[in-house]
């Protein structure tokens, strides 16, 4: 009895396998929006989040990121000051405005958040960042 049931089950499963093959795995897409990328970036801290002030952010003037792939696939991001979300593992303790830092920026245009800093270290105070000189300098 049990043997008969097993045989029937095995036969049924064989039937399903042969008549309804599983769909092939989707081919890996080359769409940049679904590719997670990370960039090592240097910059200077312009603003730090202040506890109790939700509008305050981690703001960094970052160097040009030549290999950056934008949401539309465009290559490169110029130097600019912008706010960055950061992961819970990133400690900002001991950092001050004006500090020069190197950070890992993880970008996933198909994810949430779209981008965030996942690692950040302070650079030596005499680090020369590559910023365009301000007009008149």
Query: Which residues of the chain form contacts with Cu ion (CB under 5 A)?
Result: 77, 80, 82
Shortest Å, Cβ 21 to Cu ion: 47
Shortest Å, Cβ 135 to Cu ion: 20
Pick 16 or 80: Cβ nearer Cu ion: 80
Pick 77 or 101: Cβ nearer Cu ion: 77
DSSP string, 119-134: EEEEPPTT-----PPP
**CA proximity to 63, closest of 108, 113, 123, 135:** 123
State the Cα–Cα distance between residues 43 and 37, nearest whole angstrom: 19
Shortest Å, Cβ 62 to Cu ion: 6
């Amino acid at each position: 009895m049990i043997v008969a049931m097993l045989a029937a089950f095995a036969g049924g499963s064989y039937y399903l396998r042969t008549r309804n093959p599983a769909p092939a795995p989707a081919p890996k897409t080359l769409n940049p929006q679904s590719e997670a990328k990370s960039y090592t970036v240097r910059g200077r801290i312009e603003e730090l989040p202040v506890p109790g002030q939700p509008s305050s952010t981690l703001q960094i003037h970052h160097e040009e990121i030549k290999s950056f792939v934008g949401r539309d696939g465009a290559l490169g991001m110029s130097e600019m000051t912008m706010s960055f979300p950061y992961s819970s593992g990133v400690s900002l303790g001991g950092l001050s405005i004006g500090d020069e830092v190197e950070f890992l920026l993880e970008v996933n245009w198909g994810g949430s958040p779209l981008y965030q800093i996942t690692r950040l270290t302070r650079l030596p105070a005499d680090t020369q960042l590559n910023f365009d000189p301000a007009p008149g300098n």
